[in-house]
């Protein structure tokens, strides 16, 4: 899996390097940022920096991330529906409750382990699936996974250029109006709770844009399609909460539900160009049974 590289321009002064890096990479704590810096993977204006280094306005910080750790890539027989498969990619329907890949503090079963088990049935060599994008543990739906580094690079480039079609179905609290709209607000780490994301200032957050379209009004909720043009952590959940309509059942950015043990958010559709042929393909996942049942109960 290739390394990921990021370049950021500093918009404030007197910020510590480790604090700045963790604010720009929401999945990284300050301690993890310090490890990157110690490993020489972070530079300031092309020169290695120390964690305590103070940044100046217009400094350029470059971060190189090593490939994500995927444990020992153990094959685990976890039920995951494969929607499409060729020599380059797999498109899967991720169930809610399944983490995509191992992360600091979590070493349980993941989607990666399930895919390794699937690929091991056909490949003699140990497969190394490449995670192009992620869904939250309790978000279900369509994901694409690369089977080799070249395919990973091609699909990742499409995500970077925002040419991938992503359509989510969400149920939100209240009556959302107007029926179509755009939410455009930077997202960064919540300064009061580092486990959460929040709409932030342009200097501390990263550009984020979400388009939405109302599908149906329920008595106390609104069913909608959300099309995130960018891919920030928790983007849809944060944006909808920021405009006063948190996703139903979202215990982090809204309230728990008495009838649904997760947030009502489903990756319904994903479209992209296949790496080898260049053919445009779109894949869909129907609304899972738990979300369909919740709709019936709330209607």
Catalytic residue numbers?
Answer: 136
Distance CA 223, CA 188 (A): 26
Let me know: does 209 contact 238? Beta carbons within 8 Å: no
Distance CA 162, CA 230 (A): 7
Distance CA 297, CA 299 (A): 6
**What count of other Cβ atoms lies within 10 Å of the Cβ of residue 299?**
10
Return the SS3 of 291: helix
User: What's the chain's Rg over C-alpha atoms?
Assistant: 20
Q: Which residues contact 140 (CB under 8 A, 6 or more apart)?
A: 93, 94, 95, 96, 265, 266, 267, 285, 288, 291
Distance CA 141, CA 263 (A): 13
How far, in Å, are 60, 120, 127, 128, 137 from residue 73 at the CA level?
36, 11, 8, 7, 19
Helix H or strand E segment including 115: helix 111-120
Q: Which residues contact 254 (CB under 8 A, 6 or more apart)?
A: 173, 241, 246, 247, 248, 263
Distance CA 207, CA 184 (A): 8
Let me know: does 177 contact 192? Beta carbons within 8 Å: no
């Amino acid at each position: 899996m290739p390394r990921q590289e990021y370049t950021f321009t500093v918009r404030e002064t007197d910020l510590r390097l480790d604090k700045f890096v963790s604010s720009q990479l929401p999945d990284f704590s300050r301690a993890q940022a310090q490890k990157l810096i110690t490993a020489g993977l972070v530079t300031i204006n092309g020169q290695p920096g120390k964690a305590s280094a103070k940044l100046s306005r217009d400094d350029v910080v470059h971060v190189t991330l090593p490939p994500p750790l995927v444990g020992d890539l153990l094959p685990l027989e976890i039920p995951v529906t494969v929607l499409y498969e060729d020599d380059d990619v797999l498109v899967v329907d991720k169930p809610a409750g399944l983490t995509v890949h191992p992360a600091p503090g979590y070493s349980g079963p993941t989607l990666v382990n399930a895919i390794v088990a699937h690929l091991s049935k056909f490949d003699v060599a140990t497969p190394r699936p490449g995670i192009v994008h992620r869904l939250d543990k309790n978000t279900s739906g369509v994901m694409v996974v690369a089977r080799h580094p070249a395919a990973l690079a091609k699909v990742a480039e499409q995500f970077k250029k925002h040419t991938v079609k992503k359509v989510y179905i969400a149920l939100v609290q209240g009556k959302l109006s107007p029926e179509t709209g755009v939410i455009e607000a930077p997202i960064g780490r919540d300064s009061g709770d580092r486990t959460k994301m929040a709409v932030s200032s342009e200097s501390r957050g990263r550009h984020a844009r979400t388009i939405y379209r109302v599908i149906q009004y329920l008595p106390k909720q609104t069913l909608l399609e959300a099309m995130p043009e960018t891919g920030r952590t928790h983007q849809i959940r944060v944006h909808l909460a920021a405009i006063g309509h948190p996703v139903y059942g979202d215990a982090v950015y809204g309230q728990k539900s008495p009838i649904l043990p997760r947030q009502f958010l489903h990756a319904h559709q994903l479209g992209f160009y296949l790496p080898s042929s260049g053919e445009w393909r779109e894949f869909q996942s129907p609304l899972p049974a738990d979300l369909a049942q919740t709709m019936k109960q709330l209607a």
